[in-house]
Amino acid sequence: MSLINVTLPDGSRRELPAGATVADLAASIGAGLAKAALAGQVNGSLVDLSAPLADGVTVAIITEKSPEALEIIRHSTSHLMAQAVKELFPQAKVTIGPAIENGFYYDFDVETPFTPEDLERIEQRMAELAAVGQELTRKVLPAAEAIAFFDKMGEPYKKELIQDIGAETVAIYSQGAFADLCRGPHVPNTNKLKAFKLLSIAGAYWRGNENNRMLQRIYGTAFVDKKELEAYLHRLEEAKRRDHRKLGRELDLFSFSDEVGPGFAIWHPKGAMLRTLLEDFERKEHVKRGYDIVVGPQILKTELWQRSGHYDNYRENMYFTEVDEQSFGIKPMNCLAHMMIYKSQLRSYRDLPQRYFELGTVHRHERAGVLHGLLRVRCFTQDDAHILCTPEQLDGEIKGVLRFVSEVMGIFGFEFEMELSTRPEKSIGSDEDWERATNALLGALKDTGRPFDINEGDGAFYGPKIDIKLRDCLDRRWQCATIQCDFTLPERFDLTYVTSEGERKRPVMVHRVILGSIERFIGVLIEHFAGNFPLWLAPVQAVVLTVTDNQIPYAQEVFKQLRAAGIRVQEDLRNEKLNFKIREAQLQKIPYMLVIGDKEVEQGTVTPRFRDGHNLQAMKPEEFIAFVASEVTAHK
């Protein structure tokens, strides 16, 4: 009998009969592994358990504990959903159904849109099909034969996909009476799919083209076991409760209006106060670190945007206007004005680095379909800064920004992850400058000792960048801070400095934001804190509440005293029950409620009640003022 040898991940070798499959290898290792096996990894590529093995390959068995398992389970569950849909809605045409970051989806062409009740029926049928234990089998067919197969099934989208693939052969997976075009791999049997949930329905154009037919997309998720699924569904419910759009309305922070236009936030008094607190914090922190505050115009001549490369590489995201027959671009970024400030006078090496900071409002044309509350808008303010320095200073400046980010994120209680984004296809500048810039960022990242990922081809068009992603309390990632290294724009704008030898040299420019878009960061903060802002950030820090009308004169005195001391305070003197007033203040997530009854009037005190319900001891108003000041200082 002919034999083959395969290598396992630990370096050991195993001898098998020729023609043995991944499943055979798992069985030869042990019955427990054979039962747990979901798929295989051969020379780094994922394959089905039924895949035959060749002599000399390296093989790993994929089980539920493997990092690759979840995507395989989710992709297999999307097929299970498509099978259930076809059984319940035989006229539905299937299109594509990939696994995605948090689950899967499948698009269907149906005459009547799906309803929430339909989702319940589909999910129930999926559970029944999974329990039956259908084997998934893979067959490779010539493309012409596969086209005829799907044509007979009445599946035109599959025919189109095969034609576009252009391969001589394609793979088809079958389970029961259902068959689908797919590369795989998949679980060996539907009984491996134990924990799934259908989540929502949305419209989606075939291939994302609005000129094509509108399809019905069903989103779902799947996990290895029900415990993980329940934990995820709990996080989803928590995310809905924390949705910044919902809380923004309830807390009266901001709004959007169709009359104004999509993507343009309107800030109400409390929301504007929150912004002001953040912006004041930013100014203070930047000045402390040696930045100069600057302000640039909202529109600049289109000629400048052409020189910078924005016109050729970014104009689809820009707005343009005309003044006195001269074309102007409304700024999507702040760097051009900052370079003009640098260029306004001769600079010596002794003047560097120059650090220009601007809370600059920018406009970018985002497609209507991607706008999302404060997280994706068309008008936003960046805590934007540009550092112009010598090449010798570059490493220290990048590390200084990384420290800045770390310190600020610690104040807000955020953990973060980092990745280095490299040169995209659409870019400007020489290979040498890109290599210098990339190496500068890479070296600074390595010296931090923190882990980071490489994100190939996602840099800015003028330079590579470090992207910093915050992790919130629900373990979601948010892109906020970024550090970009740029040798190219100083060249295009002929920026120079005089060296100690009297020579002219080019400075390097570091583009960076710490919080990023103020709008986006506020949206993240709202969801992270569920609207329960820390005292130093709360738009309203305290509210004075009366028990009856008898306490109104004293309550008004307390209100004035607190306001004069700089506390952001409101008063509720309405003739309502105290519990009603307290409940309203709690819904508004105000940190402190100062209850004033006859006893407080008599003693000249207030009784603070925290928003979580616990009471502090009665204290004099000036004691409460000192208490607030110390708490703000301690947590800021």
- Both tokens assigned to 394: 């570059």
Give yes or no for a contact between 262 and 374, defined as CB atoms under 8 angstroms apart: no
Among 384, 433, 467, 472, the active-site one is 384
Strand positions, DSSP E, 253-332: 254-255, 266-267, 292-293, 299-301, 319-323, 326-330
CA distance 2 to 609: 81
Among 386, 423, 512, 609, the active-site one is 386
User: What is the DSSP track for 422-491?
Assistant: ---SS--S-HHHHHHHHHHHHHHHHHHT---EEETT-SBTTB-EEEEEEE-TT--EEEEEEEEEESHHHH
Among 74, 79, 192, 335, the active-site one is 335
In Å, how far are 327, 432, 460, 536 from 456, measured between CA atoms?
35, 18, 12, 40
Establish whether 386 is a catalytic residue: yes
Establish whether 315 is a catalytic residue: no
Establish whether 186 is a catalytic residue: no
Establish whether 347 is a catalytic residue: no
Among 511, 520, 581, 609, the active-site one is 511
Establish whether 363 is a catalytic residue: no
Establish whether 335 is a catalytic residue: yes
In eight-state DSSP terms, residue 605 is: -
Among 364, 378, 512, 581, the active-site one is 364
In eight-state DSSP terms, residue 186 is: -
Establish whether 511 is a catalytic residue: yes
DSSP reduced 3-state for 99:
strand
**What spatial distance separates the first Cα and last Cα of the chain, rounded to whole Å?**
75
DSSP reduced 3-state for 553:
helix
Closest CA to 8 of 32, 36, 41, 31: 41
CA distance 312 to 324: 24
Among 134, 175, 216, 382, the active-site one is 382
Phi, psi dihedral angles at 319 (to 5 degrees): -110, 145
Among 159, 244, 465, 528, the active-site one is 465
The catalytic residue positions are 335, 364, 382, 384, 386, 465, 511
